[in-house]
Amino acid sequence: MGARASIIGGAETTSNVLAAERLGLVPSGTMAHSWVMSFKEEADAFSAFLKVFPGFTIFLIDTYDTIKAVKTVIKMGLKGFDGVRIDSGNMENTSHEVRRILDKGGLEKVKIFSTGDLNENIIESLVKAKSPIDGFGVGTELITSRDDPALGGIYKLVAIKKDGVYSYRLKKSERKETIPGLKQIYRFKDKKYYSHDLISEINEKPLKGGEPLIYPVMRNGKLIQSLPDIKEAVNRCRDSLKLFSQNVRDIHNPAHYQVKISPHLEYLAETIAVS
């Protein structure tokens, strides 16, 4: 699930072989520190890895000494490898030095990849600093939620149907307030971007221009429409994100995206609260 969500969210591929197989992707990964350390000489680790994993081959160069390792790669004169990976240290400074050494050695096409507890903030800072990094490998910070590890949730009822008639339920409590009734959510767009969402009662007449977001996928335990494959999901996610303004998508100080409640639902809640 984590690998699938990562791909939909924008990752190119995964190192999880089983997930890649199920999603119809080509898995991607690089050599491990343990591989390098299992050889007496670092050069032997590089040459053996290239033989075992030809194709898109990336050498891990920071097991011992990053600069020494990249110089070793150049000195060996290996052909057919595609990149080097830096997993520690000052990524900005080190990537510039590694790029300089590679270019001087005639390896201008060799790419630099960065890993090591990267997150969106670190990656953004490296990109803004114009670090010569061609790709990022993200693991721990992507598959976990370090800054907010728990999601508090309470299952409550908002309506009960008995003998064809609905009775509504309302909770009035700070941070735990509920909105009565069955819902539909409509998303509205201005000339270029999404402007706001509107939560309405399901039987309300839809407002012009609103896109309904809630629709049944299963009924009585059976799928009633086909599920999108991974490529369709990726494209839908990418296209949808483009419709949110950059201010809303800002990772440091995002603008507030409006979610409104329809007048009918507000009236329904007020009526129930009074009664």
> Per-block average pLDDT, block size 10, for the chain (275 residues)?
92 92 89 96 96 91 97 92 94 98 96 94 96 94 86 87 89 83 95 95 88 94 93 95 96 95 92 75
The pLDDT, as a whole number, for residue 169 is: 87
Tens-place pLDDT, residues 195-221: 999 999 998 888 889 999 999 999 999
- DSSP letter at 186 equals E
- DSSP letter at 23 equals H
The pLDDT, as a whole number, for residue 79 is: 86
Q: 31-143 is classed in which CATH architecture?
A: Alpha-Beta Barrel (3.20)
CB distance 46 to 78 below 8 Å? yes
* Bridge partners, 113 (sequence order): 85, 135
Instruction: Record the tokens describing residue 256, joined without a space.
Output: 């507030």
The pLDDT, as a whole number, for residue 274 is: 66
How far is C-alpha 233 from the chain's CA centre? 13
Please, where in the chain does CATH 3.20.20.70 lie?
31-143
- Secondary structure E strands in the chain: 58-60, 83-86, 111-114, 135-136, 159-162, 165-168, 183-189, 194-201, 211-212, 218-219, 222-223, 258-261
CA distance 220 to 260: 31
